Structures are given as C-alpha cells and as structure tokens.
C-alpha cells in the first residue's frame, strides 16, 4: 500500500471525520456538458423491436444474464470506513468526484432501464431491461455504500427527483449506451490491470471489485450490440454519421473529464493521456463487432485536435471562475474553439470495418 492508503483494523485509531464534507447532493445536481445525465425515450417504439435476426445469440446472452454471475460479487466482508477520510485532500476531492460521477452514471442507467422494462409490452425488451436495471442498481448501491462509510452517502430518491431528464430517440440511446458500457469496461479493466501489476498503488479497496464488475459492463454492451445488429438500418446510410458522432463525443468527454483529475490518475500510476488512448484502443477493437467504421485515434491530426479541444475546455472553465465580461468572453472563445476542434476530428476520414457474422465477444482484454 502507498502513503495514501489507510486500512481499518480492529485496533486502529478511529479515522478523522471529514472536516469539510463535500456537498455530494450539490455535486449531482450540477450539470455540465460532461456530467452523466438522466434520459427518457420513446417507450412505445421498444414494442416494435424484433431480435429474430440475432435470436440464437440473444437467447444465449439472456441465459447468461439470468444466471447472474456476479450475484455474490458485490458483498463486503468489511466496511471501508476511514479510508477516504485519510486520503490527501487533493486526492480525496478527485476520488470523491470519481465515485459520485460513477454512481450517477450507474443510477441513471438503472432508472432508464427500469422505466423501459415497465413501459414496454415487448417480452424480449421487458426481460432485458429488468436484468440491466438489476445490475445497475447493484453497482450504484455498492458505490453509495463506500460513500456512506465516509459519511457522504447520496440519497438516491433525491437524485431521481433532482436530475433533469433529457429525451433521446431509442437509436441514440442504443448508440450512446453501447459505447458507455464498452468504454466503462475498458476503463475499469485498464485500472484493474494497472493495480494488479502495482498493488502498492491501490489506495482504496473498491478497485479490487473492478474485474468482475467490468464484466457486467461488457455483458450490457453485448445486449446493445445485438439490438443494433438486429436492425441493419441503424448501421447504414446517414446513421453512419451518427455512429461517428457518438464515438467522438464519448472519447472527447472522457479525455476532458480524465484530465480534470490529474491527482487521482497520478495516485494510480497512470498518465491520463496514455490511459485514455489505451482505453480508446480497447474500445475500438471491441466496437468492430457492431460499427461499420472506427476512428483513427492514432492519427497525429486527431491527437492534436483532441489536445486543443482539451485546452479550449479548460478556457471555458477558467472563464466560469473568472466571471464578469472578461470571463464571458473567455468562455465564448473556449466554446468556439472546442466546437472547431471537435469538427476537425469529426471530419477526419474514419477507417472502414467489415462486420463479423457472429456478434458476441468475450471480455479478453
């Protein structure tokens, strides 16, 4: 364990309470372009979804989810009391931000999936979304227990009412959630592998749960891969432009968000840039199962524009802190710059991908 780590033992002195507890409820209420969001959709459209073209793989996937491989995984023999409190202040703040953001993302999925299961009359969709809601609820609850051990648990009922809900068509839900689940797998497995190789950097026990946890994310992504492959028009014609947009939006959001947590990544022994491009590579390899194109994230032009988008995003945040007319001008300049560099990456020619006959993959990264 490194200098950040504090593991409670029966004879250990009580950990100090957080002198200035962060207002986690204000954190989840605050919305930015980068914040995890709550969504609603056209629930009636789910009734028309037909998974017949992928029925064999669909039934195998559902059977695996029904078996609930991680049913007992999210159990703790000991509490995590005192660990967050004894982290260095900068690391503590960024780690709490990471946990709150992760919880919000998991719980937003739970709420959306539960509502989809309740509203649809399609038996395949009803079964799938009940299973997804079960897993996401479990994940959100596990993160919240870690926060509660530090005296900063989130009232999930409050979260349900406080967040704004954004309407997305089902196809946009499918694109974004597929990528969210697969990139979630890639992020968690990359952290897990890093800490398996360097256990002295594991400053909180929650990271020990990441391997099996990320397999849930992988399975969820498989479900949306099958939904997309079941309806070929979602992956052809003008919809390819939406695929490119969501790929880039997810990558850019991750890049900006991760560079806002430098202390957190340093404590894990990770460089945010190297870590993010490793995650992009994993996600690109996985998404070949479903997307007819992929972004060339190794292209120097892509990387230059991504760094300039990051700098523009940082100017936006600096302008918010500065305030006044000068701050507003700085924010506007940053927004124009971010939009310009996003467009430059979007207009780079993607690589074509031939879709495989079989859709499903195994989490082998």
The 10s digit of each residue's pLDDT in 291-345 is 999 999 999 999 999 999 999 999 999 999 999 999 999 999 999 999 999 999 9
My answer on whether 127 and 223 are in the same domain is yes
Answer whether residue 10 is part of any domain. no
Expressed as residue numbers, the domain containing 267 is 34-295
Neighbours of 211 (CB within 10 A): 16
Answer whether residue 5 is part of any domain. no
pLDDT band at 36 (very low <50, low <70, confident <90, very high): low
40 - beta bridge partners? 167
Answer whether residue 67 is part of any domain. yes
Among 274, 295, 316, give the residue marking a domain's end.
Answer: 295
Rounded Cα gap, residues 342 and 75, in angstroms? 42
Residue 45 in tokens: 């459209």
Contacts 24+ apart (CB under 8 A), 308-317: 308/337, 308/341, 309/252, 309/255, 309/256, 309/337, 309/338, 309/341, 309/342, 309/345, 310/255, 310/256, 310/259, 311/337, 312/336, 312/337, 312/338, 312/340, 312/341, 313/256, 313/338
pLDDT digits (tens, 9 = 90+) for 241-256: 999 999 999 999 999 9
Q: Is residue 5 over pLDDT 80?
A: no
Residues 6+ apart with CB under 8 A from 49: 122, 124, 125, 170, 227, 230, 231
My answer on whether 191 and 309 are in the same domain is no
Rounded Cα gap, residues 38 and 103, in angstroms? 12
Phi-psi region of 238 (alpha: psi -120 to 50; beta: other; left: phi over 0): alpha
Q: Is residue 10 over pLDDT 70?
A: no
pLDDT digits (tens, 9 = 90+) for 265-297: 999 999 999 999 999 999 999 999 999 999 999
- Sort 128 into a burial class: Cβ within 10 Å, 0-12 / 13-18 / 19+: buried
In this structure, of 14-18, 62-66, 157-161, 225-229, the range with the lowest mean pLDDT score is: 14-18
Task: Please give the backbone phi and psi of residue 109, each rounded to the nearest 5 degrees, phi first.
Answer: -65, -40
My answer on whether 241 and 323 are in the same domain is no
Q: Which helix (H) or strand (E) is 298 found in, with range?
A: none
pLDDT of residue 12: 42
pLDDT of residue 220: 95
- Tell me if residue 274 falls in helix, strand or coil: helix
Answer whether residue 229 is part of any domain. yes
Rounded Cα gap, residues 226 and 233, in angstroms? 13
pLDDT of residue 166: 77
My answer on whether 224 and 156 are in the same domain is yes
My answer on whether 135 and 225 are in the same domain is yes
My answer on whether 285 and 318 are in the same domain is no
My answer on whether 180 and 316 are in the same domain is no
Asked whether the beta carbons of 295 and 349 are under 8 A apart, the reply is no
My answer on whether 50 and 90 are in the same domain is yes
Number of domains in the chain: 2
**pTM for this one?**
0.87
My answer on whether 246 and 329 are in the same domain is no
My answer on whether 187 and 317 are in the same domain is no
In this structure, of 33-42, 64-73, 195-204, 347-356, the range with the lowest mean pLDDT score is: 33-42
Nearest to 296 by CA among 14, 82, 106, 305: 305
Among 257, 273, 295, give the residue marking a domain's end.
Answer: 295
Q: Is residue 42 over pLDDT 70?
A: yes
């Amino acid at each position: 364990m490194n200098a950040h780590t504090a593991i409670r033992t029966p004879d250990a002195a009580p950990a100090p309470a957080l002198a200035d507890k962060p207002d986690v409820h204000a954190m989840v209420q605050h919305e930015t372009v980068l914040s995890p969001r709550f969504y609603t959709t056209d629930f009636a459209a789910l009734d028309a979804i037909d998974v017949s073209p992928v029925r064999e793989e669909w039934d195998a996937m559902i059977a695996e989810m029904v078996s609930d491989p991680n049913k007992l995984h999210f159990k703790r023999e000991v509490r995590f009391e005192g660990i967050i409190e004894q982290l260095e202040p900068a690391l503590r703040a960024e780690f709490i931000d990471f946990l709150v953001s992760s919880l919000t993302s998991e719980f937003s999925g739970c709420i959306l999936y539960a509502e989809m299961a309740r509203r649809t009359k399609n038996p395949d969709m009803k079964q799938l979304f009940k299973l997804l809601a079960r897993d996401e609820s479990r994940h959100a609850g596990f993160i919240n227990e870690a926060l509660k051990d530090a005296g900063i648990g989130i009232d999930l009922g409050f979260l349900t009412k406080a967040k704004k809900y954004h309407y997305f068509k089902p196809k946009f839900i499918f694109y974004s959630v597929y990528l969210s689940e697969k990139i979630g797998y890639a992020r968690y497995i990359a952290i897990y592998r890093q800490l398996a190789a360097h256990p002295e950097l594991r400053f909180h026990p929650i990271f020990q749960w990441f391997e099996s946890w990320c397999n849930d994310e992988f399975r969820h992504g498989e479900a949306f891969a099958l939904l997309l492959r079941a309806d070929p028009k979602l992956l052809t014609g003008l919809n390819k432009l939406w695929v490119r947009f969501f790929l880039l939006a997810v990558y850019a959001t991750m890049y900006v968000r991760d560079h806002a947590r430098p202390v957190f990544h340093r404590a894990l022994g990770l460089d945010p840039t190297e870590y993010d491009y490793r995650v992009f590579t994993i996600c690109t390899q996985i998404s070949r199962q479903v997307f007819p194109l992929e972004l060339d994230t190794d292209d120097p032009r892509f990387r230059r524009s991504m760094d300039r988008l990051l700098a523009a995003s940082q100017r936006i945040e600096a302008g918010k802190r500065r305030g006044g007319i000068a701050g507003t001008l700085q924010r506007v300049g940053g927004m124009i710059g971010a939009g310009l560099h996003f467009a430059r990456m979007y207009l780079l020619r993607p690589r074509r991908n031939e879709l495989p006959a079989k859709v499903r993959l195994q989490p082998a990264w």
